Amino acid sequence: MSDGFGTNQSIATFLASNTVYTEASTSAIYFTQRVTTVGSNSYPTNINTVNKNNAILRWVQTSASSGYYTAFTLFPPGSATMSILLTPWIYSPTYQTYSASSQTTSIATPISSSSEVDFMVYEAQTLFDLFVHADGVLYQYSIGGLKSTNVFNYTASKTAIAYGSTLMACTSDINGAYIEKFNFVNGQHSVYNLTTDFSACLNMNMDQNYQQLFVSIADSQGNLALITTSFTGLHPTTFKFTPSEKVNTVNLNSYSYAVGVDNSINVVRVASGIGQIYTMTYKNLCPNQCNNHGQCFSGACICSSSWLGDDCSVPKPFIYTGGTAQVAYLGTTVVTITGESFVNTPNNKITICGGQCLSMVFVSAQSIICTLTLYGNQTNSPFDNCDITVSFNGYSSDTEYIITYATPTLSEQYFQVNDTLVFNGTNMYNAANFQVRINQQTPVSDLIADPYSLSFKIPAGSHNFNLDIFTTNTWLYSGIVKLVPYLTSINPSSLQTASGYNITLSGDFFQSNDLTEMRIYIGDDYVNGTVVDMNTVIFPNMEGIIAKKIIRAYDDATYQLYSNSLAFVYSPPTIVSTNINQTDNTIISIQGNNFGSSGTLISFAISNSEPIAVTFISVTHNIIIFKAPSTIFTAFYHLTVDDQAAATEIPLLFKPTIQSVSNPHVTGGNLTIVGNYIINSEIYFSNIRASEQLISPCVAQSSNNIPATIICQVEGGAGDMDVVAVSNLPDVGTLYTPPFESKYQAPSISNISPAVYFANRTAQFTIFGDNFYNSNIIVKINDEECNITATFTNNITCEITSLKLANETTNPVPVFVSVESQNVFANNTVAYYGKWCLNDCSQHGTCNYETTVCKCDIGWRGNDCSEEIPVPSTTTSTPTGGATTDATTGGATTTGSTTSDLNSSSQLSINILAALLSFFNQKQAREDDRTKETSRETKRKPRYNCPVENALNEFLAQKQQHSNLMDSTTSITYSPTKKRYQDMDNVQIPDQSLLHICWHVGSIFPAWLWRNSHSLLSRECSHRKQRLSLCNFLITSVDLSNFSAICTYFSRVHLFAFLV
């Protein structure tokens, strides 16, 4: 409120529906009361003068029954500290006014007179204490003085409320405002968030019925606002005023922007600093106003009995009788529960007898099914009712006690497990709720109960007995128990595979049926044992190894019952010695013991390898004889009998043998060895380069070792080599083969270049082939050593200058290559001559080394075939004559005349004839030279008179007459019935003319060439081993097409044209 003393100096306290105003000036406090409606005019009455500095006045209705108020005034009484003055004010109903009492009380405080006091509040419900906050300390006072001090977590404001032994103050920091609570009974200190939209706390009031606070604040913009929240800090809600009002923060005190609450009409009022009173109605802070199914208290709903939830909107589930009435105390029960308001949700919890009933099945809102498993550790007795509660989504029913435990049942049939007697049952209790007696006297302890059985230990040394089992109120079993033997141990603990000694079996109840003898089963076979006493039986051992290694006692005389089983083992095998048969070293015998009597339980293996398939000849307790497979090799072997390994290994050392060794290439590589027991052997290799070189490991080509084929890698070499196989076992011995002799592959010749060489002339040969090796290598040609210049695996080069007489040599000459005494001959590839053709025919012809004359290639000529024959240009004239063919006679008669001269071909013809004559002259000259060189020829041979050569010479001598010859008409008749000439010796030329030469050549050559070959032609044209003739010359040195053209031009002999 505002008055004439200045803004923010008014203090207003609302007391129920009445209002008491207290006003203060800058120098004194004035008291004015008015008990009429809010807003009536009032006049200040000067009650007394109190120093205004830091003074705080608080009106409190301290006794509602007597109707008086007490004014608590905190002021400095002129000393260094402040005091609290208590002044009762008595209300006069007649005058409707309050009057101050003279019975005042003063309480001294430690608060400095210069301190800033934040607030002073009074708790009028339980403690009747006054709370003052100054200098960051909260003081608690009673009439007797200071009771306690406390400190807020955050900065205290000018406002607080005390109610029900609890002080609630508005505090703040840079992050916002809080409600801080001190409970002065239990000492609890709590803090609740109020708002972050905040700049200052102003004033507080409350609704005691709803336990709801109202706080006036200045928001972050400095505007006046009102926040309401529960005593427990629930649902803080902010209200902003319209239009907004800026808060004046100058000279604030605990009465600034006072808040009044009228809970009878749910109205809250805020007195502003500009003379305004803001009024608004309010509701409780509970969600949905508790849906009319409960009461709101401190912002939380207190629901009626049939509703649950924060807003009392959830129907409370109820459980009725009519479902499953009994459950197993120990075990699993499927439970059906009936009631109402059940919810189909996975968020369910069903508790029965302290255990969780799981896997709920929703049938309807009135029925659900779940599975309950109890473990007998419940806190209640199996004879009491137990609790049941259901909860859906966190909303629980009341706990009902409508479930009981089912009564156990036991089977009439029992069974004995070792020394334990077992009864199957249902609905079992825990063991503590059963009682067991033997022969109606001896109680049995150490009972064990599970959901499906009850068991206990049989007293040691028992005979058959009467047994009673019962609970507190139920008899469960009564009858005779017949015991079977119980086995505990066997001696010796491991058995031998031999027979002839006794085994002791220990246990209990052997005499429970007064027996002296019983069957003892070893596996599926049995022997008769002797009962010595209640705890001992003796029986003889069986020979061999029993596959099923269990021992049982059998009471066949009375009840045909088996005892429990004892597992046993055999002693592991031991090895004394090993022997390999010298006649057949695949027959092996092993001496020792505990081998059993069957080879099916025996295995041989190397380390962790697969067992070796051996053929057993005989197996006894102390000896094994078997035949080894062809894959066996030298090694240490493991012996296993019935999955038990011998402690020592079996050394099998086999003597290796070598049957064959391959011939490796001189460059080295694969060496194939065949023999017995050579797999895993060490292979030693000796040759010209190395002595006893270890070339292992080698690769076996199969698993067979009798015989075995292995491939080793060797280095290059030549000649002889030795191979030795060595088998070795450490600490056992070494066996080896004698050296097996073999060789590297012998050299071979595939080609030799050149194919000819000459006397007194250095020749460089390259010999091609394989397995040439530069070690003791010798090359001879025609029994003369060829000096080696280079050696490679596939070729050798060497030089030789031979001085032998060529005429004393028979071609081809032998070629000899030897590498480390391994020889190879080539007798048909190289020829040796005394002379050679001029310039080696210039690479354009073939040399006849017998005659040293070149046979030029087509297109070349000259003595050394170095002159290339130019290609002439020719002109062909058209004959005027005709030609006829006599088909009747089969011959051909050509008749014609020529009107052209020899101008176009005469020069070519002359050149050809001159070449022929030159050829014959050269031949004669060479013959003369050869005659001189050969001492054995004492007389020159007569020159052969060749008709064709004579005819040519004659023609050249008469060449002046050619024109006359060519001018005349000439015809030649050839008859197929005429005898063919077979030899040039029989050729007769009737006319010394070119025409007759062409006739002879044209008549003889085509038939010859058609019938024979070039070589045959050369032979037929020779005489007395002289290989020069006109025919040979024409074929090798003359352009036949030109020669044929000349002959055809003159004689029209078409068969000669066919030759070309």
pLDDT digits over 15-36, tens only? 333 333 343 333 333 444 333 3
Give the fold, CATH level 3, of 409-481.
Answer: Immunoglobulin-like (2.60.40)
State residue 41's pLDDT score: 34
User: Residue 253 has which token pair?
Assistant: 């005190």
How far is the C-alpha of 77 from the C-alpha of 135, rounded, in Å? Answer: 19
**pLDDT value at position 559?**
65
The structure's pTM equals: 0.44
Which of residues 1003 and 446 earns the better pLDDT score? 446
Asked if domains 10-285 and 317-405 share a fold, the reply is: no
652 pLDDT above the threshold of 90: yes
Q: What percentage of the chain reaches a pLDDT higher than 90?
A: 49
Report the CATH fold assignment for 10-285.
Methylamine Dehydrogenase; Chain H (2.130.10)
Mean pLDDT of 988-1016: 42
pLDDT band, residue 467 (cuts 50/70/90):
very high
CATH number for the segment(s) 486-570: 2.60.40.10
* Per-residue pLDDT at 215 exceeds 90: yes
The yes-or-no verdict on residue 884 having pLDDT over 90 is no
- Main-chain dihedrals φ then ψ at residue 1014, nearest 5 degrees: -60, -45
Question: Which pLDDT score is estimated for 978?
Answer: 38
The answer to which of 250-254, 750-754, 843-847 has the lowest mean pLDDT is 250-254
Rounded Cα distance between 141 and 125, Å, is 15
What one-letter code names the amino acid at 447?
Answer: L
Q: Smallest Cα–Cα separation from 319: which of 391, 371, 370?
A: 391
**Cα-based distances in Å from 985 to 917, 981, 1008, 1015, 1029:** 19, 9, 15, 18, 11
pLDDT tens-digit map of 88-116 = 777 777 776 667 777 778 888 888 888 88
Closest by alpha carbon to 637, among 664, 603, 669?
A: 603
Q: Which CATH number fits domain 657-743: 3.40.50, 3.30.160, 2.60.40, 2.30.29?
A: 2.60.40
Q: Which two tokens stand for residue 12?
A: 């207003």
Which helix (H) or strand (E) segment is 994 a member of? helix 994-1011
pLDDT mean over 749-759:
92
Of 40-49, 507-516, 746-755, which gets the smallest average pLDDT?
A: 40-49
> How confident is the prediction for the chain on average, in pLDDT?
78
- Domain 748-834 homologous superfamily, CATH: Immunoglobulins (2.60.40.10)
Give the whole-angstrom CA distance, residue 795 versus residue 465.
Answer: 108
- Tokens linked to 109: 């405080």
In the predicted structure, residue 661 carries a pLDDT above the cut 70: yes
Q: Domain boundaries in the chain?
A: 10-285, 317-405, 409-481, 486-570, 574-652, 657-743, 748-834, 892-932+944-1059
pLDDT, residue 63, reads 52
pLDDT in the model for residue 675: 95
Q: Is 574 exposed, middle or buried (0-12, 13-18, 19+ CB in 10 A)?
A: middle
Instruction: Compute the 3-state secondary structure of the chain and give helix, strand, coil in percent, each to the nearest 5.
Output: 10, 45, 45
Report the range out of 28-37, 530-539, 918-927 with the highest average pLDDT. 530-539
The answer to whether the CB of 858 falls within 8 A of the CB of 869 is: no
* Closest to 421 in 3D by CA, of 477, 466, 483, 464: 483
pLDDT of the residue at 143: 75
**Burial zone of 242 (CB within 10 Å; 0-12 exposed, 13-18 middle, 19+ buried):** exposed
Phi, psi of 997 (to 5 degrees): -60, -45
pLDDT above 90: residue 888: no
> Are 499 and 596 a contacting pair, CB within 8 Å?
no
449: pLDDT strictly greater than 70: yes
Predicted local confidence at residue 75, as pLDDT: 65
Confidence of residue 558 (pLDDT cuts 50, 70, 90): low
Q: Residue 709 corresponds to which tokens in the numbers above?
A: 């084929």
What is the mean pLDDT of the segment spanning 902-915?
48
Which helix (H) or strand (E) covers residue 269, if one does? Answer: strand 267-271
pLDDT for 507 beyond 90: yes
Confidence category of residue 950, pLDDT binned at 50, 70, 90: low
d(CA 655, CA 737): 8
Element housing 973 (H / E): strand 972-974
Rounded average pLDDT over 342-361: 94
Residue 219's pLDDT is 93
Higher-scoring residue by pLDDT: 417, 274: 417
Mean pLDDT over 1013-1025 rounds to 40
Question: CA-CA distance, 1026 to 158, in Å (whole number)?
Answer: 156
Tell me which residue of 444, 451, 443 sits closest to 420, measured CA to CA. 444
The pair of three-digit structure tokens given for residue 768, joined into one six-digit string: 């091609």
Q: Residues 487-502: what's their mean pLDDT?
A: 92
The dihedrals phi and psi of 937, each to the nearest 5 degrees, come to -90, 100
Joined together, the tokens standing for residue 439 give 């022969």
Average pLDDT over residues 621-640: 93
Q: Quote the pLDDT of residue 441.
A: 85
Res 76: pLDDT: 66
pLDDT band at 61 (very low <50, low <70, confident <90, very high): low
Q: Residue 512: which region, alpha, beta or left (left: phi > 0; alpha: psi -120 to 50)?
A: alpha
pLDDT confidence of residue 334: 95
pLDDT range class, residue 946, cuts 50, 70, 90: very low
Work out the average pLDDT over 398-410.
93
| Residues above pLDDT 70, as percent of the chain | 74
Please check the confidence at residue 882 and state whether its pLDDT lies above 80.
no
**CATH, domain 317-405, list 3.65.10.10, 3.40.920.10, 3.40.50.620, 2.60.40.10:** 2.60.40.10
CATH 3.50.50.60 fits 574-652, yes or no: no
In the prediction, which pLDDT does 323 show?
83
**How would residue 870 be classed by pLDDT, with cut points 50, 70 and 90?**
confident
